[in-house]
Chains A and B, each alone.
Chain A
Amino acid sequence: GIQVEQSPPDLILQEGANSTLRCNFSDSVNNLQWFHQNPWGQLINLFYIPSGTKQNGRLSATTVATERYSLLYISSSQTTDSGVYFCAAPGGTYKYIFGTGTRLKVLA
């Protein structure tokens, strides 16, 4: 089945810094999602992005489906951006396969 890998596994930033998170997937996919898991455990949808680029405020995402990767950009990071970022790709008709996540800590 499809494998999803994320890098880096851990990231520490000073408030105001920019960062890029990467998601590689082993097979072609028809969609990809990025999530942010807050310290209380809830997974929040950031982007549904099968291809191309989307932006939402300080966050943007790009998926290059032909090269099997997606990038999540965080600009001017804030302490509230801390948490774990997951990407997920379809692992069959009805399920998603999640990467192991990037743990981000933003320092004030």
Chain B
Amino acid sequence: DAGVTQSPTHLIKTRGQQVTLRCSPKSGHDTVSWYQQALGQGPQFIFQYYEEEERQRGNFPDRFSGHQFPNYSSELNVNALLLGDSALYLCASSLTALWTAGGNTIYFGEGSWLTVV
């Protein structure tokens, strides 16, 4: 049973560039959430995708956008990169039926380490 997979694992970008990060959810899961974790901090919720639509968003600017594909995989895009975007980007996989039941266990991938120089 494949877990949550993310790519790339590490990347370095220059200020002003754009980046795309990818995530494949755990088998059987239909919901993907993205979190940003700055050094020394806990993960911060960016947004969640279900049925190919963004259904909840955290406090992040429009430079952060995403997409979910019919096979439930997802991409996170960040435009006009800033030095402050340097962080670990985590994808979390879950099942929406359990969210609406009042609780859900979420599973994380290994993350993508982004450095902006």
B48 touches A43 (CB 8 A): no
Please, which residues of chain A bring their CB within 8 A of the CB of B33? Answer: 94-95
How big is the A interface, by class? 20 to 34
**Which of these, B45, B90, B102, B103, contacts A95 with CB under 8 Å?**
B45
| Interface residue stretch chosen among A14-22, A52-60, A97-105 | A97-105
How big is the B interface, by class? 20 to 34
| CB closest chain-A residue, reference B55 | A94
Instruction: Give me the interface of B with A, judged by CB distance under 8 Å.
Output: 31, 33, 37, 41-45, 48, 55-56, 58, 88, 90, 99, 102-111, 113
Instruction: Give me the interface of A with B, judged by CB distance under 8 Å.
Output: 4, 30-31, 33, 35, 40-45, 48, 50, 86, 88, 90-101
B55 touches A101 (CB 8 A): no
B105 touches A41 (CB 8 A): no
Please, which residues of chain B bring their CB within 8 A of the CB of A45? Answer: 105-107
